[in-house]
Amino acid sequence: MYAFGATFVVWFFCFIAVFKGVHSASYLVWFTVPVPLCFIVILVINGSTLEGAGKGVNKYLNGPSDLEKFGKDEATGEMVTGDALIKA
């Protein structure tokens, strides 16, 4: 039922935009552009408040601390599969 309601709302907005013309479509843009940006900001704030978020950001920005294993032969399989950067 949720999908039906969401589809109906989208089709309704499309109908209004086509029926009223370009002038009313500009009002829809004022709604459809900032709302997803607000959702992204909310998700980033929510994600940054989770436990261990600081460690994840630090690892993302600074990279892995054990880069010396990249020159060794036993690390080749890990590098090919991408596991060398993922393993903690």
Long-range contacts of 42-47 (CB under 8 A, 24+ apart): none
Per residue in 77-87, pLDDT tens? Answer: 666 666 555 65
Per residue in 12-63, pLDDT tens? Answer: 888 877 887 777 667 777 878 888 899 999 999 999 999 999 888 888 888 7
Note the pTM of the prediction, 2 decimals: 0.46
